Amino acid sequence: MLPEHAPFTSDQRTALDSLLAGFNPVQRGWLSGFLAASGTSAAATLAPVSAGKLTVLYGTESGNSEVLADRAVKAAKKRGFQAVMKNMSEISLSELAKSTKLLVIVSTWGDGEPPETAVSFCKEFMSSDLSLAGVRFSVCGLGDTAYEKFCQIGKDVDARLEALGATRVSARQDCDVDYEDAYAGWLESALSALAPASAAAVIQSAAPAFAPAVEFGKKNPFPAETLDKVVLNGEGSTKETLHFEFSLATSGLSYEPGDALAVIPVNAPEMVRDIIQAAKLTGNEEVEVKAVGRKLLADALREDYDITALSRAVLTKLAEAGDSAALRELLAEDAKERLKEFSAGREIIDAIVEFAPNGLSADALTSILRKLPPRLYSIASSPLAHADEVHLTVSAVRYESHGRKRNGVCSTYLADHVKPGDQVQVFVQPNKNFRLPADGTTPIIMVGPGTGIAPFRAFVEHRAALGSPGKNWLFFGDQHYTYDFLYQLEWQEYLKEGALTRLDVAFSRDQPEKVYVQHRMLQQAKDLYQWLEEGAHFYVCGDATHMAHDVHETLISIVESQAGISREAAEAYVENLKKTKRYQRDVY
């Protein structure tokens, strides 16, 4: 019953009492949140029902899983959960066992590997025999169908939780790079399954804070004006590395050194033309694009779909669309090696030519394609040094394989089709796992060959702008000193000013034997170890397949030799650097 002093007439009170009497607690809770969102203080009279404690565990490499974990916590709190989020690097197995309600959001990296910060947890968890009989859970995996071991870590964690006695309350969701809809569906299902039947939405008794008319981000990228575009390599270089500057004025977007900028590319006209011809279409056909509507096929292929990345998921859909027995045979379980061999160096157009020689309908063509994903680039600037701007260092990818010229979708979009004055769709992707030390007196060691130099330009700019007294040591490498010394004049100026304490360079093609950054590290092993003993943070950015692995092994060898300890003890030393966030990597 509404109290007598409620601001309603007698008839209104009677009507409301009658209406509310017919609602269950969940419906009353929902109405409470709805009224609160409308700024109606009457919502404060409706009490929520607690849904209990909930742990949202995440493992992230680029920050997506952390962002989704934060969203899950906020959504859970609105439903009455006492929700907290935990990084896999910060939770013990004993804590995990106490988490009676558990959501896991974890990304897969590289060849089916866990995120950098989750390696230790996953290793311990997968080999543990603890009992999780009291845990109710659901898992959301993030991945990329372009990779063979799609969402492998999510699958492994999900299976291991069940094997240890935990109860799955909602099916695992494997998310591709376009994960919003899949994630939203999973979260709704998981929270509903974990909530008591009587749980209601949390009260929101105050009107929502003012929000800007337009908020830019992943769902609504900002059209950033291109301010400058400069080729960084000298004439005669075999490389094509470009420096871009974009305006963020009026965007409301902000970033920190270590974050990434996501660029929404469009496919090159010649790529669109070739795939249309391979499918034996004209491009003037109309197709339905999800969340967009009807478009001409040529426009949809240019703006909305990934028309290059070949994966098992694409081939599976193509086998059905093209009714190809040969392709179904290639996708068989006992043909994995042949599939891997076929896919190497090939793109979607090659598969269409090979397995759909009679062409495809427009709808069949788009049915095999996924949404065109954004590309992430390490930010190469400090907001303190370049107000309302963001800079990128981009290497244009061009090569030839299987008799066809190939181009990196986003890198050549920027290199070939973007000029000063043009707008590029962007948003900021935070990366809390790649950050400068909070203490400006802490020394840092940065290893960044090639375009891996980008975040370290931001680091040094930021520390220089702040006047941070900490020592800064940079290892940089590329092919030739004369052509490929990226940002050379800037580094020399920073050395002169003292903002950069040390610079060691490795140009692999300037002498008969190839010299890389790890070789320079070995040459400076004594000083490098001394810096680590003084508390230095160690950073690596660049190629994950070879460079980052070689640098990691070299770091262990340096600790082993300089500390005079066993290989096993040196590995433990380096692992502790990771756990204490003194060893951070941004690799791709």
Domain of 286: which CATH number?
1.20.990.10
pLDDT in tens, 42-94: 333 343 457 789 999 999 887 889 989 999 999 999 989 999 999 998 898 98
Domain of 114: which CATH number?
3.40.50.360
- Say whether both 232 and 380 belong to one domain: yes
- Say whether both 254 and 154 belong to one domain: no
pLDDT at 404: 95
**Mean pLDDT value of segment 551-567:** 98
- Which contiguous run of DSSP H or E holds residue 522? helix 517-523
Q: Residue 60 in contact with residue 433, Cβ under 8 Å? A: yes
**Mean pLDDT value of segment 420-441:** 96
If one compares 15 and 258, the residue with the highest pLDDT of the two is 258
Q: At 194, which amino acid appears?
A: L
Lowest mean pLDDT among 149-153, 195-199, 517-521, 549-553: 195-199
With bands split at pLDDT 50, 70 and 90, how would you rate the model's confidence at 13? low
Residue 140 has pLDDT above 60, yes or no: yes
The closest of 281, 361, 272, 274 to 322, measured between CA atoms, is 361
In a domain, 199, yes or no: no
DSSP conformation letters of 120-183: HHHHHHHH-----TT-EEEEEEE--TTSTTTTHHHHHHHHHHHHTT-EE-S--EEE-SS-HHHH
pLDDT at 331: 95
- Say whether both 249 and 325 belong to one domain: no
- Say whether both 531 and 409 belong to one domain: no
**Mean pLDDT value of segment 555-581:** 97
Domain of 380: which CATH number?
2.40.30.10
Residue 148 has pLDDT above 50, yes or no: yes
The closest of 437, 476, 459, 11 to 241, measured between CA atoms, is 476
- Tokens in use for 98? 């106490």
pLDDT at 181: 87
Residue 344 has pLDDT above 90, yes or no: yes
- Say whether both 525 and 451 belong to one domain: yes
pLDDT at 496: 97
In a domain, 4, yes or no: no
Lowest mean pLDDT among 120-129, 469-478, 530-539: 120-129
pLDDT at 195: 87
DSSP conformation letters of 38-74: TT-GGGGGSPP---EEEEEEEE-SSSHHHHHHHHHHH
- Say whether both 356 and 379 belong to one domain: no
Q: If DSSP codes are grouped into helix, strand and coil, which group holds residue 531?
A: helix
**Mean pLDDT value of segment 545-566:** 97
Mean pLDDT of the chain: 90
In a domain, 126, yes or no: yes
With bands split at pLDDT 50, 70 and 90, how would you rate the model's confidence at 14? low
pLDDT at 501: 98
Residue 5 has pLDDT above 80, yes or no: no
- Which contiguous run of DSSP H or E holds residue 351? helix 348-355
- Which contiguous run of DSSP H or E holds residue 478? strand 472-478
In a domain, 42, yes or no: no
pLDDT at 49: 52
Return d(Cα 585, Cα 579) in angstroms, integer.
13
Looking only at the bridges linking them, the beta strands covering 404-407 and 398-401 are antiparallel
Residue 40 has pLDDT above 90, yes or no: no
Q: At 161, which amino acid appears?
A: L
pLDDT at 12: 60
With bands split at pLDDT 50, 70 and 90, how would you rate the model's confidence at 111? confident
**Mean pLDDT value of segment 221-229:** 97
Domain with 284, as residue range(s), is 269-367
**Mean pLDDT value of segment 537-544:** 96
Q: Which of 178, 194, 210 is the last residue of a domain?
A: 194
Backbone conformation region of residue 385, classed left if phi is above 0, alpha if psi is from -120 to 50, else beta: alpha
Main-chain phi, psi angles of 417, to 5 degrees: -120, -5
- Runs of H (alpha helix) within 3-44: 10-21, 25-37
Residue 522 has pLDDT above 50, yes or no: yes
Lowest mean pLDDT among 138-147, 288-297, 367-376, 477-486: 138-147
If one compares 381 and 214, the residue with the highest pLDDT of the two is 381
- Say whether both 320 and 259 belong to one domain: no
Residue 171 has pLDDT above 90, yes or no: yes
Q: Residue 314 in contact with residue 368, Cβ under 8 Å? A: yes
What is the tally of structural domains in the chain? 4
Rg (CA), the chain: 27
Q: CB neighbours of 582 closer than 8 A, spacing ≥ 6?
A: 532, 535, 536, 537, 538
pLDDT at 90: 87
Return d(Cα 215, Cα 237) in angstroms, integer.
42
- Say whether both 168 and 299 belong to one domain: no
Q: What percent of the chain has pLDDT over 90?
A: 78
In terms of C-beta density within 10 A (0-12 exposed, 13-18 middle, 19 or more buried), how is residue 209 classed? exposed
**Mean pLDDT value of segment 484-512:** 97
- Tokens in use for 51? 């849904």
Going from the C-alpha of 563 to that of each of 27, 269, 540, 553, 567, the distances in angstroms are 64, 57, 22, 15, 10
Return d(Cα 246, Cα 425) in angstroms, integer.
10
> What number of H helices and E strands is found in the chain?
22, 21
- Say whether both 529 and 582 belong to one domain: yes
Q: If DSSP codes are grouped into helix, strand and coil, which group holds residue 376?
A: strand
- Say whether both 335 and 361 belong to one domain: yes
In terms of C-beta density within 10 A (0-12 exposed, 13-18 middle, 19 or more buried), how is residue 367 classed? middle
In a domain, 529, yes or no: yes
With bands split at pLDDT 50, 70 and 90, how would you rate the model's confidence at 211? very low
pLDDT at 203: 39
pLDDT at 23: 52
With bands split at pLDDT 50, 70 and 90, how would you rate the model's confidence at 21? low
In a domain, 252, yes or no: yes
First to last CA, the chain: 61
- Say whether both 188 and 66 belong to one domain: yes
**Mean pLDDT value of segment 546-561:** 97
Main-chain phi, psi angles of 117, to 5 degrees: -75, -10
Going from the C-alpha of 322 to that of each of 281, 318, 346, 364, the distances in angstroms are 14, 6, 18, 8
Q: Which of 327, 352, 367 is the last residue of a domain?
A: 367
pLDDT at 563: 98
pLDDT at 511: 95
pLDDT at 25: 42
Lowest mean pLDDT among 194-203, 450-459, 465-474: 194-203
Residue 294 has pLDDT above 60, yes or no: yes
Q: Which of 342, 367, 392 is the last residue of a domain?
A: 367
Percent helix, strand, coil in the chain (nearest 5)? 40, 20, 40
- Tokens in use for 484? 């490929």
Return d(Cα 491, Cα 498) in angstroms, integer.
10
In a domain, 200, yes or no: no
pLDDT at 47: 39
**Mean pLDDT value of segment 306-327:** 95
- Which contiguous run of DSSP H or E holds residue 539? strand 537-542
Residue 146 has pLDDT above 90, yes or no: no
pLDDT at 291: 87
Residue 29 has pLDDT above 60, yes or no: no
- Say whether both 387 and 253 belong to one domain: yes
In a domain, 8, yes or no: no
